[in-house]
Structure 1
Amino acid sequence: MVRAFFRTLVVAWCLGGATASLAGTVAGLYDAQYPVTEQSAQSLKQAAAAGLEEVFVRVSGRRDVREHPAIISALAAPEPFLTRYRYQRANSDQGEGLLVDMSFAPGQVNAVLQSAFLPVWSANRPEVIVWLVVDTAAGRNFVAAGADPRVEAELQAQAQRRGLALQFPLFDLVDAANLTTDQVWQMSIEDVKAASERYSPPYVLMGRASEFSTGQWVASWVLLSEDGYSRLDSQGQNSEEMLSPVVDLIADIQGRRYAAVAGGQRSGNTLIHIGGVDNFSEYAHLLSYMEGLAMVEHANAVWLDGAELVMELVLKDDVEKVRRYLALDGRLREVQNASGAITPMAVQSYYLWQGRK
């Protein structure tokens, strides 16, 4: 059984003063795998319900989403949400088993969440750089740089469960000069912050974990972000139980910050000025990009003058979430009205289109 606790410290901190943030695209948001004992309709229904519940949690960013009546109703009849499924054999510590690999309809999943006024979190999510040292019979090593590959694989599996964009350092000569396993083991926040500056990540996870001869794990974690830092201690009978609490903590924090709720209390319309849109192709791409954001219901250009335009956004949620996401993604960079652009309407903020990625 896992026992975990954390306390959030309100300490203002920006990673190395970096102005750029990184977003990663999480694949498979609407996919799930689940073990089954047989290829029957009943087994498929049970697997689909479990997989759909995982997808609802991953897309909403909320673990408690399953308690909502709309989610309970969907899980009672999950088959209409399936767009694809196939059975496959897979090997595990328990031997060969049978899995059903499933994909669920994004539109239907999002519609259920939105109709219940629950969050929807898009696939572009803030990257988390991981500095994790594990102490095993082989000694102390960084995960992804010589440590037990089982821990790395389990961490990636847990990240997929909640839809996190985890990244590991390069562990090249620069990293070796900037940070040692001993510094991470001592949980030196300043050293980890300094070593992470070259990556300019929105989030940094540092941790130390020990495996006992019984197979039990204990770990300590610090999550760093521009909002401050959070501490977490976890333990478990295996690496899965040890890792799942910290993954849940990160996903809960990010979900509250970036997931959009349709009909949020501060939703409405806002006007933004965008420069650097040099041709119709870029304009079409910009419009498609804006309307693809989970927190934007509709985007429409209401004023054009050369490479500059004013866009009206009909929002599903708080305008601040839009600003956070745009800063994270980097395709629209917020700027001052340095060009002295004059528009026939009052705009809330100014951006420069950085083009396609």
Structure 2
Amino acid sequence: MKSVEKLLLGAILSFLFVTNLAAVEVSGLNETEVIVADQSAGERNRALVDAFAEVLVKISGVDAIAESPEVAAELRGASRYLQQYRYRSDKVAAEDETQSAIEVLKMHVSFDQKAVERLLERIGRPVWGKNRPQAIVWLAVEEQGSRYLLDSQSESSWRALLQEAAAERGLPLILPAMDVEDQAKVHLMDVWANASEELILASQRYRADAILVARIYPTSAGSWASRWTLYANPKEEFMGQSWNAPLAQTDIVLGRGVHAAADMLAARFSVDGSIEFNEQIAISVLGINDLKQYAKVSAYLTSLDPIESVTAERVGGNSVIFKAVAKGGEDALRRAIALGKVLHERSYESMSLEADIEAEEAGLSQVSRLYYRLP
């Protein structure tokens, strides 16, 4: 019975993620804010190190990147990568909820993103580009003796903490509307019990690339516990991977869950900086019938993070063969293309002899080939 259920789950996931991918272009990966005591040079230099560490996490996709010796050495020279900084006053919530918000001074810092990416490549660490998978979060919370679901309009502090943790990693997260349509498909106990089939089907309307399911509840010791599961394309190794975040306070227990999910997604979709080769790849695209469609596909391929260069090598009928140079090779390029909705992959078995002849005529018969169609 379990094997049948697993096959069914895989089929549902395959339908959901192959037909409805909706990657998001994330901005501000090179920026962050840190709280400072004053505007002195010493405090500014200390804050720059903290800010640079946060930006390295966002751009690399590795939560613990600052712990590596080669990165620790670079942190001391954070000012070399600095673009600009500015100060602003802000108010943050007091630890004691009965007290008023506390006014603090924040330093907003921007670093040179291209320089940071070159640094990561030089020391052999991954680079997670701006095109990132979007995840919908089904989060059930138990507090003060009752349970509820977090939705996109929730005023709960958990929503603010979720957004803060996602921003720290540059991870696009959305919450369900929990409108009439959602309520007809998903109940609180579905999320609490991680009812995978119900949640996966209910998530289809949001066109997300991944589904993050979690429950958070208090312990008798006064801390918080949580259980997390990340669902993604069944071809990925983390399909249905679950974990417990260590016991902690509210912001930490939620942050740890989000950071773990970000680590898993980044490990799959980032470009490995330790891979030093660029591979030449032929990309055959069917369904290009006019100049507008050609421009759309060409611009899309150029925008992909692994692409170093791309040119049209052969145009004929309703197909175009592009020659691309991809950092990280065929696998990295295939994953990047899969995050968008622009192109649908065709299996090699569906290729005609004509496609092989076209590639040979374009001088690309000896390179890796990928086959797609424009819907």
Q: TM-score, normalised by structure 2?
A: 0.83
CA contact (8 A) 1:223 1:229 kept: yes
Tell me which of 225, 242, 245 is aligned to 1:234: 245
- Of Structure 1 and Structure 2, the greater strand share is in 1
Structure 1 range deviating more: 217-226 or 14-23: 14-23
| C-alpha deviation, 1:177, in angstroms | 0.6
User: Contact between 1:333 and 1:352, CA under 8 Å: does it hold in 2?
Assistant: yes
- The answer for the alignment partner of 1:56 in structure 2 is 56
Quote the Cα distance in structure 2 between the aligned partners of 1:260 and 1:164.
16
Name 2:169's counterpart in structure 1: 162
SS in 2 for 1:38: coil
TM-fit CA distance, 1:282:
4.9
Query: How far is the alpha carbon of 1:30 from its aligned partner?
Result: 0.9
Name the residue aligned to 2:99.
none
Q: Which residue of 2 aligns with 1:199?
A: 206
Distance verdict in 2 for CA 1:38–1:236, change over 3 Å: farther
Task: Point out the more displaced range, 28-37 or 297-306.
Answer: 297-306
Q: Which residue in 1 is equivalent to 2:98?
A: none
Could you tell which deviates more after superposition, 111-120 or 33-42?
Answer: 111-120
Q: Name 2:343's counterpart in structure 1.
A: 332
TM-score by length of structure 1 reads 0.87
Query: Are residues 154 and 338 of structure 1, via their aligned partners in 2, closer, same or farther at CA, if it must alter by over 3 Å?
Result: farther
1:147–1:236 Cα change, 3 Å: farther
Higher relative contact order (CA 8 A, sep 6+): 1
**Quick check: 1:125–1:165 contact (8 Å CA) kept in 2?**
yes
Q: Give the unaligned 5+ runs of structure 1.
A: 1-9
Shift of 1:126: 0.9
Q: Secondary structure of the residue that 2:215 maps to in structure 1? A: strand
1:349 alignment partner AA: L
Q: What secondary structure does 2:55 align onto?
A: helix
Contact 2:58 2:168 survives alignment (8 Å): yes
Q: Which moved more, 1:244-253 or 1:269-278?
A: 269-278
Post-superposition shift, 1:143? 1.1
The structure whose residues are more often helix, as a share, is 2
Deviation of the 1:352 alpha carbon: 2.5
The answer to whether 1:271 aligns with 2:282 is: yes
Structure 2 residue corresponding to 1:297, chosen from 295, 308, 311? 308
Question: Which 10-residue stretch deviates more, 274-283 or 80-89?
Answer: 274-283
Q: 1:151 aligns with which of 133, 150, 158?
A: 158
Kindly state the Cα deviation for residue 59 of structure 1 after the two structures are TM-superposed: 0.9
Query: Does the alignment pair 1:15 with 2:13?
Result: yes
Distance 1:44 1:84, change over 3 A: same
Contact 2:306-2:336 within 8 A present in 1 as well: no
221-230 vs 164-173, which deviates more?
Answer: 221-230
Amino acid at match of 2:187: T
Contact in 2 for aligned 1:299/1:312 (Cα 8 Å): yes
Unaligned residue ranges in structure 2 (runs of 5+):
1-5, 95-101
2:280 maps to a residue whose letter is N
1:289 Cα deviation from its structure 2 partner = 3.4
Task: Tell me the CA shift for residue 164 of structure 1.
Answer: 1.1
| Number of residue equivalences | 345
RMSD: 2.7
- Percent identity, aligned pairs only, is 27
Q: How does 1:22-41 map to 2 (within 5 A)?
A: 22-41=22-41
The CA deviation at 1:157 is 0.6
* Secondary structure of 1:294 counterpart: coil
Shifted more, 114-123 versus 132-141: the winner is: 132-141
Question: What's the CA shift for 1:337?
Answer: 3.7
- 1:5 aligns with none
